C-alpha cells in the first residue's frame, strides 16, 4: 500500500475517538446548516422530495400514462430528484443487493484492503476512501466500493468482492434490471421534451456505450456528526443516478435556498437527474445540488449507480429542439471527460479563492 492511502474512516470510527481529525471538519460557513439528520427527517412542514408512482408509465390507459409522465416531468423540472415507487424491481432483489453490500463492509478491514483501489495510478475501481483532492485538504466521512457493473462485457469481475459468494450474482441482476429502468426513465423524459422516445437514450450512448458505475457508500457512525459530511455538496455528472439505501436518512437536497432532508420511502429507488441530462435539455431538467449527512447512532449505506455517457465519443450540448430565440444554449459543447475536468478545475479555483 502506497503512502497516499487515507486512513479508512471505518478504522477511525471504531478507534474510540471522541473528536474527529481536523481534515473532516467542514468550513465554518457550512457548519451552520448541518443539523441532526433524524430530527430533520421528521419535519413535516416545508417542501418534500416528490414520490413518483411508475405503475402507469407503460399503461394502455392513455390518461393514466399521461398523468404519470406529467408528474415525472414536474419533478424533473422543479427538483431533479425523486423517489420512484412501483419501479418494477422486486423488493427481494433490492434486499439481496443490500445484504450483499453490507456483508462485504462487515468483513475485517484487512480483507477489504485486498480490493483496495489506487487512485494515484488511475486504478479507480475497488475499495477506497476519498483522498484530499482539493486545496483545502478536506475529507469526507465515508469509505466506498466502486466498480463498473454494466454493460457486462466491460466489467472487470476480478475486482468484484468474492465474499459474500452471491455478491456477483445479485449485483449483476440488479444492474441488468436497473439498465431497463434507466431506459424507461430516459424514454419518458424524451417524450416530456417533445422528442422521439429513444432520443435521450441515443444521445447518452445507448445500450452499447452508457456505463453503469456502482458506488457503495459506507458512512460509519461519527462522534461529531454536526461537524462532518458523508459527502460534500455536489451535483452528479451522470445522465441519471439511481440510489438504494439501508433506510437510514442522510441525503439532503438544496432546494429553493434551503437544505431539505429526503425522507426514507420504503421499497423506493431514488433517481437524480445528472448534469448530462441537464445539459441535453438546456437546463429544462435540473441537476440538483445535494450532500450526505452522517450521524452518531447508525451506520448508513447507500448504493449509487451512475449512468454515464462514454468519456470522449459524444459531444454533450443542448439539443437543437430545446433551443429557441428566447432560449439560447446555456452550456458550451463538451465531451463528458471535458465536463468533469471543467467541474474539477472550477472547484479547485473556488478552493484557492476561498
Q: Annotated active-site positions, please? A: 215, 234, 236, 290
Cis ω before 151 (30° cut-off from 0): yes
Distance CA 353, CA 347 (A): 10
> What distances in angstroms separate CA 248 from CA 87, 175, 263, 296, 345, one per listed residue?
21, 22, 9, 12, 33
- Please give, one letter per residue, the 3-state secondary structure of the chain: CCCCCCCCHHHHHHCCCCCCCHHHCCCHHHHCCCCCHHHHHHCCCCCCCCEEEHHHCCCCCHHHHHHHHHHHHHHHHHCCEEEEECCCCCHHHHHHHHHHHHHHHHCCHHHHHCCECEHHHCECCEEEECCCCCCCCCCCCCEEEEEEEECHHHCCHHHCCCCCCCHHHHHHHHHHHHHHHHHHHHHHHHHHCCCCCCHHHHHCCHHHHCEEEEEEEEECCCCCCCCCCCEEEECCCCCEEEEEECCCCCEEEEECCEEEECCCCCCCEEEEECHHHHHHCCCCCCCCCEEECCCCCCCEEEEEEEEECCCCCCEECCCHHHCECCECCCCCCEEHHHHHHHHHHHHHHHHHHC
Number of C-beta neighbours around residue 186 at 10 A: 24
Residue 34's region, left for phi above 0, alpha for psi from -120 to 50, else beta, is beta
The C-alpha cell of 237 is what?
455528472
Amino acid at each position: 500500500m502506497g503512502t497516499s492511502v487515507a486512513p479508512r474512516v471505518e478504522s477511525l470510527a471504531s478507534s474510540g475517538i471522541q473528536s474527529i481529525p481536523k481534515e473532516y471538519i467542514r468550513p465554518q460557513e457550512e457548519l451552520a446548516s448541518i443539523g441532526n439528520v433524524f430530527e430533520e427527517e421528521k419535519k413535516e412542514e416545508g417542501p418534500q422530495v416528490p414520490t413518483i408512482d411508475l405503475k402507469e408509465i407503460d399503461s394502455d390507459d392513455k390518461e393514466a400514462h399521461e398523468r404519470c409522465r406529467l408528474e415525472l416531468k414536474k419533478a424533473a423540472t422543479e427538483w431533479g430528484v425523486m423517489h420512484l415507487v412501483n419501479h418494477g424491481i422486486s423488493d427481494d432483489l433490492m434486499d439481496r443487493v443490500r445484504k450483499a453490500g453490507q456483508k462485504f463492509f462487515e468483513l475485517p478491514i484487512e480483507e477489504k484492503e485486498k480490493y483496495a483501489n489506487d487512485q494515484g495510478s488511475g486504478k479507480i475501481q475497488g475499495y477506497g476512501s476519498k483522498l484530499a483532492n482539493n486545496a483545502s485538504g478536506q475529507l469526507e466521512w465515508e469509505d466506498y466500493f466502486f466498480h463498473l457493473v454494466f454493460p457486462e462485457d466491460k466489467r472487470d469481475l476480478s475486482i468484484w468482492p468474492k465474499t459474500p459468494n452471491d455478491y456477483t450474482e445479485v449485483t449483476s441482476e440488479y444492474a441488468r434490471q436497473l439498465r431497463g429502468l434507466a431506459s424507461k426513465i430516459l424514454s419518458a423524459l424524451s417524450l416530456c421534451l417533445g422528442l422521439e422516445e429513444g432520443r435521450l437514450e441515443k444521445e447518452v450512448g445507448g445500450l452499447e456505450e452508457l456505463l453503469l458505475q456502482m458506488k457503495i457508500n459506507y458512512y460509519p457512525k461519527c462522534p461529531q456528526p454536526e461537524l462532518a459530511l458523508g459527502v460534500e455538496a455536489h451535483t452528479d455528472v451522470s445522465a441519471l443516478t439511481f440510489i438504494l439505501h439501508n433506510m437510514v436518512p442522510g441525503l439532503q437536497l438544496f432546494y429553493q435556498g434551503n437544505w431539505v432532508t429526503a425522507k426514507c420511502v420504503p421499497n423506493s429507488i431514488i433517481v437524480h437527474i445528472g448534469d448530462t441530462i441537464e445539459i441535453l435539455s438546456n437546463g429544462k431538467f435540473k441537476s440538483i445540488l445535494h450532500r450526505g449527512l452522517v450521524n452518531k447512532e447508525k451506520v448508513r449505506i447507500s448504493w449509487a449507480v451512475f449512468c454515464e455517457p462514454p468519456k470522449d465519443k459524444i459531444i454533450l450540448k443542448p439539443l437543437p429542439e430545446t433551443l429557441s430565440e428566447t432560449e439560447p444554449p446555456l452550456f458550451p459543447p463538451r465531451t463528458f471527460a471535458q465536463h468533469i475536468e471543467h467541474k474539477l478545475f472550477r472547484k479547485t479555483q473556488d478552493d484557492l479563492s476561498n
